[in-house]
């Protein structure tokens, strides 16, 4: 299973800016108590890994849509980032152009930027496309705007346009009313699960199943993660400790291009859950190894000492790609060896500079381990909320911008 290596956070390894073993054990104990409190009345996301019966139904329904050439996800925030994460991690990196692909091309439209909406319209045929519209409230303006655009294209080109639509939404709102009126296939969003915690619900599972991802294995990994409590507990304890020590930036840095989207997903989870008035909240920053060794690491090594670095390291399953070029130091090595050396070298250099960093050690990238990782990060975020004394399940700061945007729109 996934491990969290935090050696590069301990003071005996990195110096005075680290945490002592005694202090860590105390804080980890407090974090474990927070998790026990949650278990007495679990928030909705903690129940998602165990819904295997629902997953079987989703798989059965998903089989009806695999003959579409394209699947387009219309959503924003938690309705989109989880789907992008699963697709990028678990499908071929060039899924949409890979030879022998047996499932639909996969597109996520997660913005109301008209240039992007128009561009997607130009490269897909609505007749060959399944549009999956995702909004828990059923009223998200950006999502509905894109839906209305593609709905018109569908109606203009497909007689039975309803068969090209699937909604994933709550029990109320415009989308639910529209589905009831027209008989659109609809999956529910659990009422007690917020968008940023919804990747293991129908929100993420249905699109994943259509695209060929093993969603049962995804849930199995998440369910087993619930028994591996020390990982999220330790992560929450360390992050909150360093935040209180004025290291209020959490750099999330996968050493895997396939997990780069997981960093986007994590940034929403962390920012929207913990950035509250009661606490300014740790600021999450995305980086990707080894790419950002050449853009951000200079700042992390020698800039303000206000950061803690989280690495995701993949242990196995990467291709070797042996190199053969006489006279060069890379001769006889592999690209994988170089990549892993860069990961370990970066972590080691940061530690030598006294900058705390920790690594999630992922055995390999598969559905089981991705499910485990996402669930562990969700639990750690919820525990961190309790430690910081904030509500990790609301987002009042988002609503003000929405209301002002709608007012501007109404006034023209």
The residues carrying an active-site annotation are 272, 294, 402
DSSP 8-state code for residue 95? G
Measured in residues, the chain has a length of: 412
Place of tokens 């938690």: 78
Strand locations in 15-164 (E)? 70-74, 105-109, 129-135
Name beta bridge partners: 188: 169
Residue (of 231, 246, 177) closest to 1 by Cα position: 231
The backbone torsions φ and ψ at residue 6, rounded to the nearest 5 degrees and listed phi first, read -120, 25
Residue 355 CA to residue 340 CA, distance in Å, equals 20
User: How many Å separate Cα 50 from the centre of its chain?
Assistant: 19
The backbone torsions φ and ψ at residue 56, rounded to the nearest 5 degrees and listed phi first, read -65, -40
- Tally Cβ neighbours within 10 Å of residue 93: 9
3-state secondary structure at position 96: helix
Residue 184 CA to residue 166 CA, distance in Å, equals 6
Residue (of 298, 288, 303, 225) closest to 251 by Cα position: 288
Q: 74 near 142, Cβ under 8 Å?
A: no
Residue 305 CA to residue 229 CA, distance in Å, equals 30
The torsion region of residue 324 among left (phi > 0), alpha (psi -120 to 50) and beta comes to beta
């Amino acid at each position: 299973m996934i491990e969290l290596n935090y050696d590069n956070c301990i003071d005996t390894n990195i110096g005075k800016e680290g945490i002592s073993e005694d202090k860590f054990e105390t804080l980890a104990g407090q974090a474990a108590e927070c998790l026990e409190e949650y278990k007495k009345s679990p928030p909705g996301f903690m129940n998602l890994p165990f819904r295997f019966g629902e997953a079987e139904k989703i798989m059965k329904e998903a089989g009806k849509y695999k003959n579409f050439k394209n699947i387009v996800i219309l959503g924003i925030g938690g309705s989109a980032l989880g789907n992008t994460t699963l697709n990028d991690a678990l499908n071929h990196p060039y899924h949409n152009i890979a030879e022998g692909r047996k499932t639909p091309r996969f597109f996520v439209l997660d913005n109301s930027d008209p240039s992007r909406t128009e561009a997607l319209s130009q490269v897909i045929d609505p007749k060959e496309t399944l549009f999956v519209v995702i909004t828990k409230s059923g009223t998200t303006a950006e999502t509905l705007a894109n839906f209305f655009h593609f709905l018109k294209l569908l109606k203009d080109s497909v007689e039975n346009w309803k068969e090209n639509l699937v909604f994933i939404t709550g029990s109320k709102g415009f989308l639910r009313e529209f589905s009831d009126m027209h008989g659109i296939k609809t999956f529910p969003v659990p009422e007690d699960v917020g968008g940023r915690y919804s990747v293991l619900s129908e929100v993420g599972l249905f699109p994943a199943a259509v695209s060929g991802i093993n969603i049962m294995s995804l849930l199995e990994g998440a369910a087993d993660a619930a028994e591996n409590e020390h990982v999220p507990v330790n992560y929450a304890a360390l992050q909150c400790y360093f935040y209180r020590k004025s290291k209020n930036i959490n750099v999330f840095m996968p050493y895997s291009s396939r997990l780069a989207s997981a960093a986007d997903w994590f940034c929403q989870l962390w920012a929207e859950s913990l950035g509250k008035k009661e606490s300014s909240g740790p600021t999450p920053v995305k980086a990707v190894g080894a790419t950002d060794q050449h853009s951000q690491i200079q700042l992390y090594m020698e800039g303000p000492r206000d950061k803690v670095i989280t690495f995701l390291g993949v242990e196995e399953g990467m291709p070797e790609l042996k190199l053969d070029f006489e006279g060069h130091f890379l001769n006889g090595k592999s690209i994988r060896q170089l990549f892993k050396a860069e990961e370990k070298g970066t972590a080691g250099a940061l530690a030598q500079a006294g900058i705390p960093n920790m690594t999630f050690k992922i055995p390999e990238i598969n559905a089981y381990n991705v499910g485990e990782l996402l669930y562990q990060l969700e639990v750690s975020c919820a525990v961190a909320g309790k430690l910081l004394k904030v509500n990790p399940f609301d987002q009042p700061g988002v609503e003000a911008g929405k209301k002002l945007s709608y007012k501007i729109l109404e006034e023209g």
